[in-house]
Amino acid sequence: MQEQTRVQIMIAAMPASVFNRATYAFASHHTSLSSNKQAARFSDRPYLSPRFPRLRVQMRIGITAALVLTWVVNAVQAGNIQLPGLTLPSSAAGNAALVKSTFLTAYNDYKTYAWGHDDLEPISKSWTNGSALGATIFDAMPTLYIMGFTDLFNEAVQFASNVDFSYSHTVGDHVSFFETTIRYLGSMLSAYELNGYKDAALLANAQRLGDKLMYGWVPANGPIPYGSVNFATNSADVSSGSNNIASAGSNILEFYTLSRLTGNSTYQTFAERGMSAIASNPSPPFPGLSPQQVFASGKGDGNVISWDGGNDSYYEYLIKYFKMTANANTLWGTTWATAVDSTIKQLLKRTSVATGQRTYLTSASGSSNSYSMGDLACFSGGNWIMGGKLLNNATIVNYGLNLTDSCMNTYNTPTGIGGGGFAFVTADGKGTPPGTAVQQAEFNQFGDNGWYMRPEVIESAVYAWRATGDLKYQTWAANVLQSIIKYAKAPVGYSSLNDVTRTDLSTDNLGDNVESFLYAEVFKYLYLMFDDPNHISFDTWIFNTECHPLAMGQNIPARLGAVLQSPPFPVPGNETQTTATTGKGVKPTPTQVVATGTAVSVPGFVTGTAVEDPAATRS
């Protein structure tokens, strides 16, 4: 599709509210959108555009069609997230080296006490298993490559290539569809691409895992995958009823990449159907935003609207898939932009001047708002920065920067590390946390004092650095790194913290667990803050929600070809389907992409066999 055609479709699809928000932004300040580069990000200036000069166009409420067209053309053609010519400060090299040495210490301790198991227990000097597949090895694998630990990376690739996904390794035989997709599948695809598309055995095992995960869908019940899969029986756990949209809608980056690498469109097709069903089921008061829960049929369940856990990565993947596919389908970018617009109007809140006019996101449940925010929702800052840059929308970028700065402020604790959740009071006095008087400072207490090694605040700070070049993000990240080293160091490796306000260095403030995403996300995002921005550029790599970088779609070669043999995809209820061999020596799965980009359908695929869904008749 040519660019002009895409633009016209986007104009037709984009709701007026998105344009009205941009129009109001420009009209309110009567500005040409070129602005003071020294403007402070902590201040409440959502419509100014420091470091993001735009065309000197005066836009008013009565915006003309021609100006709308110009805005959308820019949005479609935009693509640079990183500030051109971004250079590192002199302190970056030392900080990058410190991140690497800290990571290496933690990873070697894992190897010593927990190799082959999911997670290290840093107090007990033992291990624990959730999936029993070696989660830390998978999650650390792309980080090992990016940091240049070649021998350890090759060791991890060897391990991952030989994990047997033909059965579940856990008691009860169920694995999380979401976690297995983002951690294991995402890691293998990322490592395969980072290392030059040459580890054929790794891709083969990624496809075997992808085939297993396809059982999360029961096509006869609807387009939404279930929350867990039984690898032993090759079936979804339909007793779970509804799934949350983060779990159901955070697989498109991985399955699209798997389709492109194997030449098999089945994975992409199913993931797009699920994503599209969620996007087509918005909550009426909130255009673009979907209820947190969704049935397999695609029908929404309940009225909780949020960017926090259970919702977060669905919205994250909308704009990232828009970028990965170069806006081949306008649904993804349009839905994301509409969701942001609704959020700005109805969920975004600010505190008073006394507390720096911080910006936070509430959650809605029916007609009420929850004036608290978990650290998981802090990904939104970086996501809005990225999306705003892609759409050339300075309004969204600056909201993202304000959200990022507000989340960074939650690390202003005695340890310099932020808690898992926090409550706030807005300038109008709403949102008083239980037991707290309105007259106290609006940002007055954590709802959760624990630090669970979550990366979202650091993630957004990295996007802010790459987009603006503001050195305050470098300084903040360097302080966070020092705080982790000082307060989270355990007898072996690093630990979670029970209370970020305690500075006594007692081991009873440490949790006896190390999440695998410490290696996948926290250390990697910290390293990317201080690393050469052109090494792993945000303009050429797209990170899944576990921080595993995947290549832009147009740069992904189909490498399976004659190198690997793949078993036919086992359709639930139709295990005996007939397959043929293509000229490339790859057995086609039910829908096989051929060289021309067309698809060959295998009869019986989309019908499958209905499985009773206990939630299917729920109103």
| Binding residue positions | 545
Chain centroid offset of residue 497 CA: 24
Give the residue carrying structure tokens 């991985």: 254
Q: Cβ(385)–Cβ(74) under 8 Å?
A: no
Token representation of residue 223: 């387009």
Q: Residue 65 CB: number of other CB atoms within 10 A? A: 8
Tell which residue, 6, 99, 66, 48, has the closest CA to residue 322.
Answer: 6
Token representation of residue 65: 């069609």
Measured on CA atoms in the order 534, 535, 536, 540, is the torsion positive or negative? positive
- Backbone region of residue 323 per phi and psi (left: phi > 0; alpha: psi in -120 to 50; beta: other values): alpha
Pairing verdict, β 445-448 and 421-423? antiparallel
**Which helix (H) or strand (E) segment is 28 a member of?**
helix 16-29
Tell me whether residue 584 is exposed, middle or buried, using C-beta atoms within 10 angstroms of its C-beta: 0 to 12, 13 to 18, 19 or more: middle
Query: How far is the C-alpha of 454 from the C-alpha of 444, rounded, in Å?
Result: 21
Query: How far is the C-alpha of 179 from the C-alpha of 517, rounded, in Å?
Result: 11
Sequence-ordered list of residues with C-beta below 8 angstroms from that of 239, at least 6 positions apart, any chain? 614
Query: How far is the C-alpha of 229 from the C-alpha of 249, rounded, in Å?
Result: 16
Query: How far is the C-alpha of 184 from the C-alpha of 251, rounded, in Å?
Result: 12
Tell which residue, 397, 543, 563, has the closest CA to residue 470.
Answer: 397
Tell which residue, 372, 461, 481, has the closest CA to residue 409.
Answer: 461
Q: Cβ(466)–Cβ(82) under 8 Å?
A: yes
Annotated binding residues for Ca(2+), as ranges? 545
Q: Cβ(253)–Cβ(321) under 8 Å?
A: yes
Beta bridge partners of 599: 593
Token representation of residue 396: 């969204």
Q: Cβ(547)–Cβ(145) under 8 Å?
A: no
Query: How far is the C-alpha of 320 from the C-alpha of 356, rounded, in Å?
Result: 31
Query: How far is the C-alpha of 565 from the C-alpha of 557, rounded, in Å?
Result: 17
Residue type at 220 in one-letter notation: A
